[in-house]
Amino acid sequence: MTKYKLMQLIPYLEDLNENPIETNKIERETILKNDKSSKTEKLNRLTKNISDYNTISNEKIKTNKNILHNINFDFLSPRLKTYADNFLHALLQQDQFKLDANEIILHSTKLVGSNIVDLIVDLITNKKVMHIKKTPEFFNQFLNFLIDINFPLSFIKNKLRIQFINQLKKYKSNDDPTPV
């Protein structure tokens, strides 16, 4: 059996203080480039830097596990539940995405009345689930967010939604003037 490695995409941020992982990486590069420090000092500083990185990562993982534990996809089949959990886990890796109860916070703006469960279920099921009778609230904002962060379409299982997202991407690319 082939094992796959999960890669984490880190968005480019102009203010690196917002992204501690990228800041940590730059600090490591600076430590290695510093010619004035002895090898022992460099090693000590690198060790501290790596332990800081692990602390940041572990805190984020604990927070994500708590959020995943509170969100319930038990009404779905086991296969769809796995898709939904993976989808949510991938979203939680994004710095611009946060959850407050089941409501979404995109780019520090809380979408009051949004429901992450309804939005994810709509994107992973080809037919409407019984409790979702219409398109979920804030669906367009959520799709635009997914397009903006270049969210992988492989997480979306609803073929009609994939087509819709591709149309939105074309529309957005035609909307933006290209430099000549």
Domain assignments of the chain as residue spans, ordered by start: 17-70, 73-175
pLDDT < 70 positions in the chain = 1-2, 4-22, 24, 35, 54-70, 102, 127-133, 175-180
Q: What is the pTM of this model?
A: 0.59
What is the pLDDT at residue 176? 57
Terminal-residue alpha carbon distance, the chain = 49
What is the pLDDT at residue 115? 86
CA atoms of 113 and 153, how far apart (whole Å): 25
- Put the strands of the sheet holding 109-111 in their side by side order: 97-100, 103-106, 109-111
CA atoms of 124 and 161, how far apart (whole Å): 9
